[in-house]
Structure 1
Amino acid sequence: MTNLQISPPAPVQTALDTLCNAGYEAYIVGGCVRDALRGAAPHDWDCTTNAKPDEICACFRDFHVIETGLQHGTVTVVIEHMPIEITTYRIDGVYADHRRPDTVTFTDSLTDDLARRDFTVNAMAYHPDRGLIDPYHGADDLHANIIRCVGSPRDRFDEDGLRILRAMRFASVLDFTIEKGTANAVHAQKTLLHHISAERIDTELTKLLCGIGAERVLTDFADVLFTVLPELEPMHGFDQCNPHHDYDVYAHTLKTVAACPPEPVLRWAALLHDSGKPHTFTTDEHGGHFYGHAVVSKEIAGRALKAMKCDRRRYDRVLLLVDQHDLVMNGTEKQLKRIVRKLGDEAAEQLLLLHKADVTAQAAC
């Protein structure tokens, strides 16, 4: 894997060449290296250099330069309509707010810069002529499908509590395993998420939910999910006492999530669709029942999504799907037309997909 050649897009190569021709070091770094080594197309291409911010600006005086975050050493250069973020090698100071460093110190050491990054798979740098720079063995972890913090997991999470959810998100999206020491710190330091804004949590949790490993990750780290969405904790271990359900409410919920297409509205609706069950449970000689649980689930979903400060479109659509998910489906053309008339084409299709996933997740095959 370490011998794999990475070919940056022409604008990125121009950025590297411009800095190197001016006498500076320059590398692509972080997620773009990780994705390229996996054979996936990077979404963004970031660069790192020993050039200071004013020196970066001087190198690119013939290009459009955006002073994104000069205090943290970050400049965005637009080359052929592609924005490229270029950051000076730096060492981060104390993270008093568990979100961002109070101070940064610029350094000439690439290794020191990579040491401040969250996970080993994100702490690699590459230059087409110099090859891969990987002091923390990220390529080995990438090959082994492992998410591991750079250095001390407790220190990395104490610096930025969002990294707790990022570890889970990468494990879900990449279908990786979180290394034991890192996993232990995720559980131990989950309350650091209370320092993180709802918007940042929503972004990471949405990506996590849409990952291939969402069911596994949210099973293993249920306590972390309940830290940010306490409304869901009553589902955990709640026996449905019903011959049609092989799983407790939480396990069924995660299987429904996994059975839905990986689209944010559907995955959020699946996560919240049965949240009202523990609050509506009754029993009789036929077993457990949850009469009216969709109405209560809708109320809980509304509170949860408001707390996450999600966008209005997702909020409205998820609540609609949760409210309607328990509709008895007979599969007739007449009923399908009625649902389409009531909800519209897109919402009707989403409801049918959610219903199919819900039924699929009821019993073990």
Structure 2
Amino acid sequence: MIINIPVDVEKIINRLEERGFEAYAVGGCIRDSLMDSKPNDWDICTSAQPEQVINCFEDYHVIETGVKHGTVTVRLNGQSYEITTYRIDGEYLDNRRPENVQFVNSIQEDLARRDFTMNAMAYNSGKGLVDYYKGCNDLKDGIIRCVGKADERFKEDALRIIRALRFASVFGFTIEKETSESIHHNKNLIKNIAKERINVELCKLLSGKGVKEILKNYSDILSVMIPEIKPMIGFQQNNPHHKYDVWEHTIAAVENSVSEPIIRLAVLLHDIGKPECYTCDGRGIGHFYSHGEFGAKIAEKILRDLKFDNQTISDVCQLIKYHDADISENSKFIKKWLNKIGIVQFERLLLVKQADVMGQSDYLKEKKLKTLANIQSTMSKILEEKQCFTLKQLAVNGNDLIKIGIHDGKIIGEILNWLLEQVMENQLENKKDTLIIAAKKIIIEL
């Protein structure tokens, strides 16, 4: 088995071997290479201790940031390469990082401390693939399996629980039975993980092709990451528009949504407000009045807690707030929506609404999808024809109104907004002369 290692990585490995040490490319770069995917980073492990690595690369730019844990970073041709000494980890007191490490001479011992078999492989061009834990077989079979005892791996580093779900989702793999059971058993260890790390892993998980199975089979894990999800699980909707409970509907909607972080987050949380908004009428039909607006408030709290940036929070919550809003196919109303939330957000809103419909029952589904398609078509026409729906597109501006004698800033703003509304309503043409005449009439009336 041959893996094409980049020239600079070969240089680093060769330099270490020339000085009498072992060295291999290791971990995710080997996994990705075996999957015919281009690695983002190339990490190297070696029998050389940190001081010896530094001496080996005295003519290179060396960064000693991780020396305590055996890692030295070497800069070569503008790229950074982490070189880590073979090691075994000491005691984990915080379910995240070892208190100390012990350097060893055996690559087998080093690989034994890693999370999953598919990440516990090493390679160099002379010795080939080193795979003591049958990671290559698991990779071929599409299996996520812990190295050694799963309980030990997860208690050492609880982030591995979420990483297992993320890898399974991204690659469409299955989590091996013992590893899966351990994930469920140790789920509460996730509470010890920094919110920023959960944020990163959650976004990758949601974007994966296997997201449906993960949300379905590991809802208890998601509920630890986002406790507000728990009331959704098993909550019956009792409505002809729905054939699933709230969580099952959410899973179906996520599966049918565009794999883009803002949209996936919005779809995951779009019905988060339903359990608290539920009412039942005299016919036994369930309703969820204002659940979009209420859910947006819950989602804001969730996203802030998970340390998302302000723009993401704003965009996601806006989509949740309006996901159930009625949008007419009429171009006048579509222009008002474009004015209200902008082109990008309106396009996202249509995608969220489409995913929502795809997760519902067959009742009126075709009609709903046709309406969304018509709205999309009308919006495309509006954009192609450069129809006016913003003040920037309006044929007049504040300076034009000043020239005809209007100097009060507040009144100028009110007149421009009125003119824009008339243009969007197709009551006035977006032509300068026409708009100036209309503005002069307003002045006379004032």
TM range (shorter): over 0.9
Residues 1:164 and 2:161 aligned together: yes
Which deviations, in whole Å up to 9, do the C-alpha atoms of 1:69-114 show, x marking residues without a partner? 1110011111111111111100001101111001100011000000
- 1:120 positional shift: 0.3
Q: Which of 159, 165, 172 is 1:175 aligned to?
A: 172
Per the alignment, residue 105 of structure 2 pairs with 108
Per the alignment, residue 317 of structure 1 pairs with 315
Q: How does 1:138-287 map to 2 (within 5 A)?
A: 138-284=135-281, 285=283, 287=285
- 1:286 positional shift: 6.8
Per the alignment, residue 300 of structure 2 pairs with 302
CA contact (8 A) 1:11 1:82 kept: no
Count of matched residue pairs? 362
Rg bigger for which structure?
A: 2
Per the alignment, residue 28 of structure 2 pairs with 31
Residues 1:87 and 2:122 aligned together: no
Per the alignment, residue 349 of structure 2 pairs with 351
Which deviations, in whole Å up to 9, do the C-alpha atoms of 1:7-32 show, x marking residues without a partner? 12222122112212222111110011
Q: Which of 325, 332, 335 is 1:334 aligned to?
A: 332
Which deviations, in whole Å up to 9, do the C-alpha atoms of 1:183-233 show, x marking residues without a partner? 000000001111111111111111111111111101101001101211111
Which deviations, in whole Å up to 9, do the C-alpha atoms of 1:258-288 show, x marking residues without a partner? 2222111111111111000011111222711
Q: Distance in 2 between matches of 1:313 and 1:78?
A: 34
| Worse-superposed segment, 262-271 or 116-125 | 262-271
Q: Which has the higher contact order (CA 8 A, sep 6+)?
A: 1
- 1:353 positional shift: 1.0
- 1:339 positional shift: 1.8
Aligned CA distance change for structure 1 residues 336 and 286 (closer, same or farther; 3 Å): farther
Q: Distance in 1 between matches of 2:327 and 2:257?
A: 17
* Aligned Cα root-mean-square deviation (Å): 1.3
Q: How does 1:48-87 map to 2 (within 5 A)?
A: 48-87=45-84
Per the alignment, residue 287 of structure 2 pairs with 289
Q: Distance in 1 between matches of 2:347 and 2:115?
A: 39
Task: Show structure 1 runs of 5+ residues with no match.
Answer: none
Which deviations, in whole Å up to 9, do the C-alpha atoms of 1:110-167 show, x marking residues without a partner? 0000000000000000111211000000001001100000000000000001111111
Which deviations, in whole Å up to 9, do the C-alpha atoms of 1:40-60 show, x marking residues without a partner? 111111111011111111111
- 1:335 positional shift: 3.1
Q: How does 1:3-22 map to 2 (within 5 A)?
A: 3=1, 5-22=2-19
- 1:336 positional shift: 2.8
Q: Distance in 2 between matches of 1:85 and 1:331?
A: 56
CA contact (8 A) 2:207 2:259 kept: yes
Q: Distance in 2 between matches of 1:346 and 1:78?
A: 40
Q: Distance in 1 between matches of 2:21 and 2:163?
A: 32
TM-score (norm: length of structure 1) = 0.97
CA contact (8 A) 2:238 2:284 kept: no
SS of 1:132's partner is strand
Task: Show structure 2 runs of 5+ residues with no match.
Answer: 366-446
